[in-house]
Protein backbone atom coordinates (compact mmCIF):
# COMPACT_ATOMS: atom_id res chain seq x y z
CA UNK A 1 0.00 0.00 0.00
CA UNK A 2 2.82 2.44 0.87
CA UNK A 3 4.62 1.58 -2.37
CA UNK A 4 1.49 2.23 -4.46
CA UNK A 5 0.89 5.60 -2.79
CA UNK A 6 4.51 6.80 -3.02
CA UNK A 7 4.92 9.52 -5.70
CA UNK A 8 8.71 9.46 -5.73
CA UNK A 9 9.59 6.91 -8.42
CA UNK A 10 12.94 5.89 -6.94
CA UNK A 11 11.57 5.37 -3.42
CA UNK A 12 8.53 3.51 -4.81
CA UNK A 13 10.84 1.03 -6.57
CA UNK A 14 12.79 0.43 -3.34
CA UNK A 15 9.61 -0.13 -1.34
CA UNK A 16 8.47 -2.63 -3.96
CA UNK A 17 11.79 -4.49 -3.59
CA UNK A 18 11.32 -4.55 0.20
CA UNK A 19 7.75 -5.82 -0.25
CA UNK A 20 8.90 -8.66 -2.52
CA UNK A 21 11.67 -9.60 -0.06
CA UNK A 22 9.15 -9.84 2.78
CA UNK A 23 6.80 -11.92 0.64
CA UNK A 24 9.70 -14.28 -0.05
CA UNK A 25 10.37 -14.79 3.66
CA UNK A 26 12.93 -12.08 4.58
CA UNK A 27 12.53 -10.16 7.82
CA UNK A 28 12.07 -6.39 7.87
CA UNK A 29 15.61 -5.58 8.97
CA UNK A 30 17.27 -7.60 6.20
CA UNK A 31 14.88 -6.18 3.59
CA UNK A 32 15.39 -2.53 4.56
CA UNK A 33 19.15 -3.03 5.06
CA UNK A 34 19.56 -3.34 1.28
CA UNK A 35 19.08 0.45 1.18
CA UNK A 36 21.23 1.67 4.07
CA UNK A 37 21.87 4.98 2.28
CA UNK A 38 18.16 5.81 2.65
CA UNK A 39 17.20 4.08 5.90
CA UNK A 40 19.92 5.18 8.35
CA UNK A 41 21.71 3.09 10.95
CA UNK A 42 19.65 4.42 13.87
CA UNK A 43 16.34 3.43 12.27
CA UNK A 44 17.63 0.07 11.04
CA UNK A 45 18.90 -0.61 14.56
CA UNK A 46 15.48 0.16 16.03
CA UNK A 47 13.88 -2.07 13.40
CA UNK A 48 16.18 -4.98 14.25
CA UNK A 49 15.67 -4.59 18.00
CA UNK A 50 11.90 -4.32 17.53
CA UNK A 51 11.76 -7.56 15.56
CA UNK A 52 14.01 -9.46 17.96
CA UNK A 53 12.26 -8.21 21.12
CA UNK A 54 8.70 -8.37 19.76
CA UNK A 55 8.30 -4.59 20.19
CA UNK A 56 8.15 -3.64 16.53
CA UNK A 57 5.15 -1.31 16.86
CA UNK A 58 6.65 0.64 19.79
CA UNK A 59 10.05 1.07 18.19
CA UNK A 60 8.64 2.02 14.78
CA UNK A 61 6.61 4.66 16.58
CA UNK A 62 9.82 5.94 18.23
CA UNK A 63 11.56 5.97 14.84
CA UNK A 64 8.67 8.00 13.39
CA UNK A 65 8.90 10.48 16.28
CA UNK A 66 12.65 10.86 15.66
CA UNK A 67 12.09 11.52 11.96
CA UNK A 68 9.30 14.01 12.58
CA UNK A 69 11.43 15.88 15.11
CA UNK A 70 14.41 15.89 12.74
CA UNK A 71 12.29 17.24 9.85
CA UNK A 72 10.72 19.96 12.03
CA UNK A 73 14.11 21.15 13.29
CA UNK A 74 15.64 20.99 9.82
CA UNK A 75 12.87 23.19 8.42
CA UNK A 76 13.55 25.79 11.09
CA UNK A 77 17.27 25.85 10.29
CA UNK A 78 16.56 26.06 6.54
CA UNK A 79 14.21 29.00 7.14
CA UNK A 80 16.93 30.84 9.09
CA UNK A 81 19.46 30.27 6.29
CA UNK A 82 17.23 30.66 3.22
CA UNK A 83 15.29 33.80 4.18
CA UNK A 84 18.28 36.18 4.45
CA UNK A 85 19.92 34.57 1.39
CA UNK A 86 16.79 35.17 -0.70
CA UNK A 87 16.53 38.78 0.50
CA UNK A 88 20.23 39.43 -0.19
CA UNK A 89 19.81 37.93 -3.68
CA UNK A 90 16.80 40.17 -4.39
CA UNK A 91 18.72 43.24 -3.16
CA UNK A 92 21.63 42.37 -5.46
CA UNK A 93 19.24 41.89 -8.41
CA UNK A 94 17.59 45.25 -7.68
CA UNK A 95 20.96 47.04 -7.46
CA UNK A 96 22.10 45.29 -10.66
CA UNK A 97 18.97 46.45 -12.54
CA UNK A 98 19.51 50.00 -11.31
CA UNK A 99 23.16 49.93 -12.45
CA UNK A 100 22.34 48.38 -15.83
CA UNK A 101 19.17 50.31 -16.72
CA UNK A 102 18.62 53.45 -14.67
CA UNK A 103 22.13 54.84 -14.15
CA UNK A 104 23.02 54.78 -17.92
CA UNK A 105 19.86 56.78 -18.72
CA UNK A 106 20.85 59.41 -16.20
CA UNK A 107 24.38 59.50 -17.63
CA UNK A 108 22.84 60.26 -21.03
CA UNK A 109 20.67 62.93 -19.42
CA UNK A 110 23.73 64.53 -17.80
CA UNK A 111 25.44 64.68 -21.20
CA UNK A 112 22.39 66.35 -22.77
CA UNK A 113 22.45 68.90 -19.94
CA UNK A 114 26.11 69.67 -20.72
CA UNK A 115 27.46 68.15 -17.47
CA UNK A 116 30.78 66.30 -17.45
CA UNK A 117 31.93 63.81 -14.85
CA UNK A 118 33.96 66.55 -13.12
CA UNK A 119 30.80 68.65 -12.68
CA UNK A 120 28.99 65.92 -10.75
CA UNK A 121 28.90 65.51 -6.93
CA UNK A 122 31.28 62.96 -5.40
CA UNK A 123 28.50 60.49 -4.51
CA UNK A 124 27.23 60.56 -8.11
CA UNK A 125 30.74 59.97 -9.46
CA UNK A 126 31.13 56.93 -7.19
CA UNK A 127 27.77 55.43 -8.22
CA UNK A 128 28.50 55.99 -11.94
CA UNK A 129 32.00 54.48 -11.61
CA UNK A 130 30.65 51.41 -9.81
CA UNK A 131 27.83 51.02 -12.35
CA UNK A 132 30.29 51.24 -15.26
CA UNK A 133 32.57 48.67 -13.62
CA UNK A 134 29.62 46.28 -13.15
CA UNK A 135 28.46 46.72 -16.78
CA UNK A 136 31.93 46.43 -18.33
CA UNK A 137 33.01 43.39 -16.30
CA UNK A 138 29.74 41.48 -16.05
CA UNK A 139 31.01 38.17 -17.45
CA UNK A 140 34.18 38.31 -15.33
CA UNK A 141 32.07 38.92 -12.22
CA UNK A 142 29.66 36.11 -13.15
CA UNK A 143 32.58 33.75 -13.80
CA UNK A 144 34.18 34.70 -10.47
CA UNK A 145 30.96 33.92 -8.59
CA UNK A 146 30.58 30.54 -10.35
CA UNK A 147 34.26 29.74 -9.70
CA UNK A 148 33.97 30.69 -6.02
CA UNK A 149 30.93 28.50 -5.35
CA UNK A 150 32.37 25.67 -7.45
CA UNK A 151 35.63 25.78 -5.48
CA UNK A 152 33.70 25.94 -2.19
CA UNK A 153 31.67 22.88 -3.24
CA UNK A 154 34.83 20.95 -4.16
CA UNK A 155 36.49 21.85 -0.85
CA UNK A 156 33.40 20.85 1.14
CA UNK A 157 33.16 17.57 -0.78
CA UNK A 158 36.54 16.44 0.57
CA UNK A 159 36.83 15.15 4.14
CA UNK A 160 39.62 17.57 5.11
CA UNK A 161 37.85 20.52 3.48
CA UNK A 162 34.55 19.70 5.20
CA UNK A 163 36.31 19.41 8.56
CA UNK A 164 38.03 22.78 8.01
CA UNK A 165 34.77 24.55 7.08
CA UNK A 166 32.82 22.87 9.89
CA UNK A 167 35.45 23.92 12.42
CA UNK A 168 35.27 27.45 11.05
CA UNK A 169 31.47 27.53 11.35
CA UNK A 170 31.49 26.66 15.06
CA UNK A 171 33.76 29.64 15.72
CA UNK A 172 31.31 32.19 14.26
CA UNK A 173 29.09 33.80 16.93
CA UNK A 174 25.39 32.95 16.69
CA UNK A 175 26.05 30.40 13.91
CA UNK A 176 28.03 28.37 16.46
CA UNK A 177 25.12 28.40 18.93
CA UNK A 178 22.61 27.27 16.29
CA UNK A 179 24.82 24.43 15.03
CA UNK A 180 25.70 23.11 18.49
CA UNK A 181 22.13 23.30 19.81
CA UNK A 182 20.71 21.67 16.68
CA UNK A 183 23.08 18.70 16.74
CA UNK A 184 23.06 18.31 20.53
CA UNK A 185 19.25 18.16 20.45
CA UNK A 186 19.32 15.48 17.74
CA UNK A 187 22.12 13.58 19.45
CA UNK A 188 20.37 13.57 22.83
CA UNK A 189 17.02 12.56 21.33
CA UNK A 190 18.51 9.66 19.36
CA UNK A 191 20.62 8.55 22.32
CA UNK A 192 17.56 8.53 24.58
CA UNK A 193 15.53 6.39 22.17
CA UNK A 194 18.36 3.90 21.60
CA UNK A 195 19.18 3.62 25.31
CA UNK A 196 15.52 3.17 26.21
CA UNK A 197 15.21 0.52 23.47
CA UNK A 198 17.84 -1.67 25.10
CA UNK A 199 21.03 -0.77 23.24
CA UNK A 200 24.28 -0.80 25.20
CA UNK A 201 25.75 2.60 26.14
CA UNK A 202 28.67 2.38 23.71
CA UNK A 203 26.53 1.21 20.77
CA UNK A 204 23.88 3.87 21.49
CA UNK A 205 26.57 6.58 21.60
CA UNK A 206 28.25 5.38 18.40
CA UNK A 207 24.98 5.25 16.44
CA UNK A 208 23.85 8.63 17.77
CA UNK A 209 27.21 10.14 16.89
CA UNK A 210 26.82 8.81 13.33
CA UNK A 211 23.79 11.04 12.67
CA UNK A 212 25.80 14.23 13.35
CA UNK A 213 26.84 15.65 9.97
CA UNK A 214 28.98 18.54 11.24
CA UNK A 215 32.49 17.05 11.38
CA UNK A 216 33.73 19.42 14.11
CA UNK A 217 30.82 18.58 16.45
CA UNK A 218 31.10 14.89 15.55
CA UNK A 219 34.83 14.96 16.33
CA UNK A 220 34.17 16.18 19.86
CA UNK A 221 31.23 13.84 20.47
CA UNK A 222 33.48 10.96 19.43
CA UNK A 223 35.69 11.95 22.36
CA UNK A 224 32.71 11.13 24.63
CA UNK A 225 32.76 7.55 23.28
CA UNK A 226 36.54 7.37 23.77
CA UNK A 227 36.19 8.60 27.36
CA UNK A 228 33.52 5.98 28.06
CA UNK A 229 35.76 3.25 26.67
CA UNK A 230 38.53 4.44 29.00
CA UNK A 231 36.24 3.88 31.98
CA UNK A 232 34.74 7.33 32.59
CA UNK A 233 31.17 7.68 33.77
CA UNK A 234 28.73 9.22 31.27
CA UNK A 235 28.71 12.63 32.98
CA UNK A 236 32.52 12.61 33.31
CA UNK A 237 32.83 11.74 29.62
CA UNK A 238 30.68 14.76 28.72
CA UNK A 239 32.49 17.09 31.13
CA UNK A 240 35.77 16.44 29.27
CA UNK A 241 34.34 17.67 25.95
CA UNK A 242 34.52 21.50 25.52
CA UNK A 243 31.59 21.74 23.09
CA UNK A 244 29.07 20.40 25.65
CA UNK A 245 27.74 23.17 27.97
CA UNK A 246 28.03 22.65 31.74
CA UNK A 247 24.25 22.68 32.21
CA UNK A 248 23.96 19.65 29.90
CA UNK A 249 26.63 17.81 31.88
CA UNK A 250 24.81 18.62 35.13
CA UNK A 251 21.48 17.33 33.78
CA UNK A 252 23.16 14.13 32.54
CA UNK A 253 24.87 13.65 35.93
CA UNK A 254 21.49 13.94 37.69
CA UNK A 255 19.95 11.45 35.27
CA UNK A 256 22.84 9.05 35.84
CA UNK A 257 22.56 9.30 39.64
CA UNK A 258 18.76 8.84 39.68
CA UNK A 259 18.72 5.99 37.13
CA UNK A 260 16.61 8.10 34.75
CA UNK A 261 19.25 8.69 32.10
CA UNK A 262 16.91 8.26 29.10
CA UNK A 263 14.31 10.67 30.54
CA UNK A 264 16.98 13.25 31.34
CA UNK A 265 18.30 12.98 27.77
CA UNK A 266 14.79 13.79 26.54
CA UNK A 267 14.80 16.81 28.85
CA UNK A 268 18.16 17.87 27.39
CA UNK A 269 16.75 17.55 23.86
CA UNK A 270 13.63 19.54 24.83
CA UNK A 271 15.81 22.23 26.41
CA UNK A 272 17.92 22.64 23.25
CA UNK A 273 14.90 22.58 20.93
CA UNK A 274 13.07 25.27 22.90
CA UNK A 275 16.23 27.37 23.11
CA UNK A 276 16.73 26.95 19.36
CA UNK A 277 13.12 27.99 18.70
CA UNK A 278 13.64 31.14 20.80
CA UNK A 279 16.91 31.99 19.00
CA UNK A 280 15.33 31.56 15.57
CA UNK A 281 12.24 33.60 16.48
CA UNK A 282 14.39 36.40 17.94
CA UNK A 283 16.68 36.37 14.91
CA UNK A 284 13.77 36.57 12.45
CA UNK A 285 12.14 39.41 14.41
CA UNK A 286 15.45 41.31 14.30
CA UNK A 287 16.22 40.43 10.69
CA UNK A 288 13.06 41.70 8.98
CA UNK A 289 13.29 45.38 10.04
CA UNK A 290 17.08 45.32 9.55
CA UNK A 291 16.71 44.15 5.95
CA UNK A 292 14.08 46.82 5.24
CA UNK A 293 16.41 49.51 6.64
CA UNK A 294 19.43 48.22 4.66
CA UNK A 295 17.38 47.97 1.45
CA UNK A 296 16.03 51.49 1.96
CA UNK A 297 19.52 52.89 2.57
CA UNK A 298 21.02 51.21 -0.53
CA UNK A 299 18.23 52.26 -2.88
CA UNK A 300 18.00 55.70 -1.26
CA UNK A 301 21.74 56.40 -1.66
CA UNK A 302 21.73 55.30 -5.32
CA UNK A 303 18.64 57.34 -6.18
CA UNK A 304 19.99 60.38 -4.31
CA UNK A 305 23.25 60.06 -6.24
CA UNK A 306 21.57 59.98 -9.67
CA UNK A 307 18.98 62.70 -8.93
CA UNK A 308 21.27 65.12 -7.07
CA UNK A 309 22.78 66.72 -10.23
CA UNK A 310 19.30 67.19 -11.70
CA UNK A 311 18.08 68.91 -8.54
CA UNK A 312 21.23 71.07 -8.38
CA UNK A 313 20.90 72.12 -12.02
CA UNK A 314 17.17 72.87 -11.63
CA UNK A 315 17.91 75.05 -8.61
CA UNK A 316 20.64 76.92 -10.55
CA UNK A 317 18.27 77.54 -13.48
CA UNK A 318 15.61 78.86 -11.09
CA UNK A 319 18.11 81.26 -9.46
CA UNK A 320 19.24 82.56 -12.87
CA UNK A 321 15.65 83.13 -13.90
- pLDDT bracket for residue 321 (50, 70, 90): very low
pLDDT at 261 over 50: yes
pLDDT digits (tens, 9 = 90+) for 289-315: 888 888 888 888 888 888 887 776 666
* Domain residue spans of the chain: 63-96+173-321
Give the C-alpha separation, 162 to 153, whole Å.
Answer: 9
Average pLDDT estimate for 262-269: 83
> Taking all residues of the chain, what is their mean pLDDT, rounded to a whole number?
82
pLDDT digits (tens, 9 = 90+) for 157-179: 888 888 888 888 888 888 888 88
The structure's pTM equals: 0.72
Give pLDDT, residue 314: 64
Pick the CATH number of 63-96+173-321 from 3.40.50.2300, 2.60.40.10, 1.10.357.10, 1.20.81.30: 1.20.81.30
Give the C-alpha separation, 68 to 75, whole Å.
Answer: 11
Give the C-alpha separation, 212 to 224, whole Å.
Answer: 14
Average pLDDT estimate for 239-264: 82
CA-CA-CA-CA torsion for 58, 60, 63, 65, nearest 10 degrees? -60
pLDDT at 119 over 50: yes
Give pLDDT, residue 107: 81
Maximum separation of any 2 CA atoms in the chain, in Å: 100
pLDDT digits (tens, 9 = 90+) for 192-223: 888 877 777 888 888 788 778 888 888 888 88
Q: In terms of Cα–Cα distance, which of 252, 166, 177, 272 is closest to 212?
A: 166
pLDDT at 319 over 70: no
pLDDT at 252 over 60: yes
Amino acid sequence: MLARQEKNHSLREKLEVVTNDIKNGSNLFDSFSRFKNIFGGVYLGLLRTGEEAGRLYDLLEKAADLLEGKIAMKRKIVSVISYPLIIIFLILVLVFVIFMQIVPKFQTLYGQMGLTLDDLPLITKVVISVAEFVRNNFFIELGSVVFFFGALYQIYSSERGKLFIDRLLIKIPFVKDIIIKYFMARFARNLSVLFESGFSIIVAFERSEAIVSNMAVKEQLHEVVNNLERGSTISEAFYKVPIVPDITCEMIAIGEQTASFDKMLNNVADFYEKDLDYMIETFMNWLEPSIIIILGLIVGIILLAVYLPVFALAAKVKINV
